[in-house]
Structure 1
């Protein structure tokens, strides 16, 4: 197998740990196996990457993991060689790309052939257990499997729990991804000049990530000036002005396929931040540090919500979607909401050692000019947390 970058990660150990986590969850739920389509889940199970973004919307790859039996990767037709040398994959087969795009009016025929092959694997390797966990499946394929005698169960829950506890190999892999991301952040800061567009600034993060062995970026969340408020606009050809707030959220899939999810807010140009910019930033920093101080193993998600930073009323309407979320090969379990959202969206759970999470802060008011976005990525420990993201904080950071 070819790596995209120099790495200190023991990939053999990494693969064995991640596969063992999947099988632990399969046994706990009494499932005979799993069939995984989501690219991060395929990556978790096999460590084999292939056209990750394309595969998000084209069902061209999947992997069968028997609870007590083989791992069989179904890859894009002419890409079976990508798994050569993988010590955990017993066999690689050509996938049935069951989409109308590839199958046209023969779609249902091909879906039947696909279902028959999967059902045969369940009979051979399930030990009589026909319960198969599947993470993502369209209705036509689900009905075909059911007609073939397979009982479909929840693979998304299975994989969220399989992925949420990292060992030392995964943490090292994540640190390498964050290092590539933060090199990109530094490149953006060095490039930031009034008169450039948001897109031009954002391109430095992409270029640096790819140059360092990174893979792709999930979002385009960089905005400036009044486009920062409300949040969740993607970057554009707006020209950044001197004195503008520039805020971004990396959402970057870096080396090893791990996510580096870091947010910073700057002021463009050699200018003193305004009093309002400093006020917003100070509240965001207080928010971030208050919630980080809560983090430790054993903290309940409801307790996290209840003890979280009390947002001043002027910022409640523009609050972020969560105060914390898990992170691994992408955003994942756990997830904690603001108190205002508990009744509708909240659920309880417990932070555990080995979870990696991102703590969020977004401060902006309805009718206000700008928003400030900050976010840190950390490893949960028995006594607190280990900070994983180290890009300097500050409206005008020191590099």
Structure 2
């Protein structure tokens, strides 16, 4: 897919329309996933303000520090045909944005805008109510275009290639940190631009869903949860978990792993347009609870993914948002026994016109690595 397909110029008009529906006078986007989604510009998050201003009525403009102007002009944002407004070191860029917007009553700010910038915009526009740009952009960002789906497929294939190599790295006597370094190198070698996270959780560490890496030495008989992901040059992210065992698994672990595999498969099969997000969560949770491990499934079943590893929609009880074609999210139930071990299986799933597509294809059975 091309940059023009991934970041079409039509998004500016779509943001203006969404802002009008939300009753917002202007949307202000600073460096981060929202700015990249609308412009394709991967701006550096600096103390110097870069801000795309999208008024509901009027022409959008991009305020940039003068020293960042060449980078902005060589980015996909140059295709938008909007005015770039450079500012110098002695200027007040917040006042500059405020003057150009006039007297807005309500402005939407990037969800991840630094507090420093939020407060300076408040001082520059004291009469403007501040709200989150996420409420304006959520419907746009949740529904992935065909180009975005293609980017997620590419990311899924790249992280699958890394999981295919994990058995090379998992050996008794090695530490989680040593294995993690090899995996991080493999993530870059697979085509990712950055490594977002590497979880290698062996033995009792597997009972901590967000365990990172430690100096624990991997032992024969250890189950090992490997949850990895990164960002591709496209900007779109990967995220996939597989569980391995170094040698023969403990009997209890092998038993509940079969439950987990059935739960993950049931949740994936539950995905189709019109199904509430919480119903996908329930499909996994009910199987795990019936097997007696309900209290050991301690997190939601999934999260949206795109330009961020975690974004909307969230696959969790209480979210009655109906799935729609183009929604992309993880399906990742887990079972965790504190002090013993844990397991998780995670695929990225795209809701299609009539069901679901998994972008991860590695085996979901427990992978036994020779001890």
| TM-score of the alignment, normalized to the shorter chain, above 0.5 | yes
CA distance in 2, matches of 1:202, 1:29: 44
- Identify which of 263, 276, 296 aligns with 2:252: 276
| Matching of residue 350 in structure 1 with residue 322 in structure 2 | yes
Q: Decide whether the 8 Å contact of 1:377 with 1:388 is kept in 2.
A: yes
Tell me: CA distance 1:176–1:89, structure 2 relative to 1, closer, same or farther (3 Å): farther
1:388 aligns with 2:363: no
Question: Which residue of structure 2 lines up, in the alignment, with residue 143 of structure 1?
Answer: 122
Report the CA distance between 1:225 and its aligned residue: 1.1
Distance 2:349 2:63 in 1: 34
Q: Which residue of 2 aligns with 1:35?
A: 28
Q: Which runs of 5+ in 1 are unaligned?
A: 1-8, 98-108
CA distance in 2, matches of 1:23, 1:189: 49
RMSD: 2.8
Cα distance in 2 for partners of 1:119, 1:224 equals: 53
Distance 1:80 1:394, change over 3 A: farther
The CA distance in 2 between the partners of 1:23 and 1:185, in whole Å, is: 42
Shift of 1:215: 3.0
Using the size of structure 2 for normalisation, the TM-score is: 0.86
State the partner residue of 1:73: 62
Count of residues in correspondence between the two structures? 358
Cα pair distance change 1:10/1:137, threshold 3 Å: same
Question: In the TM superposition, what is the alpha-carbon distance from 1:294 to its structure 2 partner?
Answer: 0.8
Contiguous gaps of at least 5 residues in structure 2:
none
Separation in 2, partners of 1:215, 1:380: 26
Find the counterpart in structure 2 of residue 333 from structure 1: 312
Which of residues 165, 175, 182 is equivalent to 1:187? 165
Task: Give 1:362 shift.
Answer: 0.5
Runs of 4+, deviation exceeding 6 Å: none
Match among 249, 257, 268 for residue 227 of structure 2: 249
- Offset of residue 213 of structure 1: 4.3
What TM-score, normalized to structure 1? Answer: 0.80
Aligned partners of 1:251 and 1:259 also within 8 Å: yes
1:131 is matched with which residue? 106
Describe the superposition over 1:101-140 as per-residue Cα deviations: whole angstroms up to 9, x where unpaired. xxxxxxxx97xx23311112323xxxx8643211235252
